[in-house]
Homo-oligomer: A and B are copies of this chain.
Amino acid sequence: MTNETAEYSLSRPCRKVPQWDIETDIAIIGFGASGASAAIEAASAGAKVTLFEATSGNGGTSALSGGEIYLGGNGGTPIQNAAGFSDDTEALYQYLLMAGGPNADAAKVRLYADNSLKHYEWLLAQGVEYKNSFIPQRIVEPDTDDCLIWSGSEEAWPFSEQAKPCPRGHTPKFMGMGAGRYLMDKLAARVTALGVDVRYDSRAVALITDESSRVIGIVIRNAGKDSYVRARKGVALCAGGFVMNREMVKKNAPWMLQSNHPIGTVDDGSGITMGQSVGGAAINMSEGFVTLPWYPPESLIKGIFINERGQRYINEDCYHGRTAHHGMQQRSTRLFSLQDSETYGEPLFGQFAKIGIAGTGDTWEEVEKELELPAGSLTTTVELYNRFAAEGSDLLFHKAKKWLKPLNKPPFVALDCRIDVCFYPTFTLGGLDTLPTGEVLNADRKPIAGLYAAGRTACGLPRWGEGYSSGMSLADATFFGRQLGSRVVSVA
């Protein structure tokens, strides 16, 4: 062991290979959605694919998800059409560009927007089924086998002003929540059917480079023994993000440590670190997704969020991840959702998410007092909001008219959305800079020969906590996993 770690590590490539234990065309690291999609495309094209997974089963963090994929454009999927929506490619492009934030990758967004409908068809071809149904109410994910939902901030300011709104969250036909497992079962079955050589309990510990710095293989550790894998066409890092590596989070995105609910399986940053060890550039490393499933019922959206200074901070009708992300920037551990007797409904995920009731009252003064907020801090905010709501125009935060209603019907309730108490799941959005083909880039945006990445090891479509929408990460992982799989095969 001592000799081994002295020779190489996640952060230091291996340059001395005693022998090749395994030879393959493509070594894929990680059996989540991106690794599976890459494997399917590469194997379909006739390549010999070896897929290494650190754990004893497939699915990765993708299997922990709701399985939603953000799809549309090109006139719309049949499900969008049946629900009465004709989705425009440019609207999808604009929305994703905006959702990607100030450092959005226009090339990736363009490719995805143009091919999203084809990607839907590809998913069907892999055996993923979708029910032809639409849930118009605002929810987090279906607890039925229904498909289409509003899964982002499409109808909310400022997105609604720049891109024609359309629901695009497509959830597979799976009864109940957590369709990510279903999605991965389908993809994994295809991987198996295509004869991909899958090796479980096999952890990648270092890339192998030749004298010209080309990546030619990878060292895999299984039961304490290292194997040297030659990958003739390339190594694909599909090993997830880094949210489970708390030290790495601290160094890059310390704001995320406010949440003690990282969502991940392995996600130890090893894919990113190995990429960096051969000169790969990691970008956007401070960005992350965070949410709080505070609705449904959607009537809660008519309430308002305040921080512990009594200040409102967001248009409450945007995506739950956006409200939570803004909440986490408030420098306020206590956050409250204020409701009146007409808007209040017990949060569906209240118990699960630990959203309790922080205070009640027959007047807002009483609530303010019970929350121990400075006199006047909450009440002036509610007063101002109620006036805007009555006038039908939220001049401060631009919440859409349909969600505006004066909060003036007692009794009043303040929901407890404390950051240190409630369930604020979070994962990272920074990673290796890649071309749409999956080629890993160095700081000069030059490809590193033989190295590819996709999924949360790469920095893809989703790269801005403020703009994240459900289904963006799986859309990115599956679609750009596929691009990677095709590309590796095509390189001579």
Interface positions of A (Cβ within 8 A of B): 9-12, 15, 101-103, 211, 213, 248, 250-255, 257, 269, 273, 276-277, 279, 281, 283-286, 309-311, 329, 374, 376-377, 380, 383-384, 387-388, 395-397, 433, 442-444, 446
Q: A443-B10, A444-B10 are in contact. Are A101 and B254 (CB under 8 A)?
A: yes
Q: List 26 A-B contacts (CB under 8 A).
A: A10-B443, A11-B279, A11-B443, A11-B444, A12-B279, A15-B213, A101-B254, A102-B250, A102-B254, A102-B257, A103-B250, A251-B283, A251-B284, A251-B433, A253-B286, A273-B444, A276-B276, A276-B443, A277-B442, A277-B443, A285-B286, A311-B311, A374-B388, A374-B396, A376-B383, A380-B384
Query: A249 vs B220: C-alpha distance in the bound complex, in angstroms?
Result: 35
- Count this chain's copies in the assembly: 2
B residues less than 8 Å from A213 (CB atoms): 12, 15
The distance in angstroms between the C-alpha atoms of A143 and B383, with both chains bound, is: 47
By a CB distance below 8 angstroms, the chain B residues around A9 are 444, 446
CA distance A380 to B380 in the complex (A): 7
Closest Cβ–Cβ distance, residue A253 to chain B (whole Å): 8
Tell me the nearest residue of chain B to A247, going by C-beta: B445
CB neighbours of A377 from chain B (8 A): 384, 395-396
- Docked Cα-Cα span, A424 to B252, in Å, equals 24
- Shortest beta-carbon distance from A392 to chain B in Å: 13
Pairwise interchain contact A283-B252, C-beta atoms closer than 8 A: yes
Most interface-central of A211, A250, A255, A277 (chain B CB within 10 A): A277
The docked-state distance in angstroms from the alpha carbon of A269 to that of B276 is 16
Residues in B neighbouring A248, C-beta threshold 8 A: 443
Compute how far the CA of A18 lies from the CA of B92 in the bound complex, rounded to whole angstroms. 53
Residues of B contacting A433 with CB < 8 Å? 251
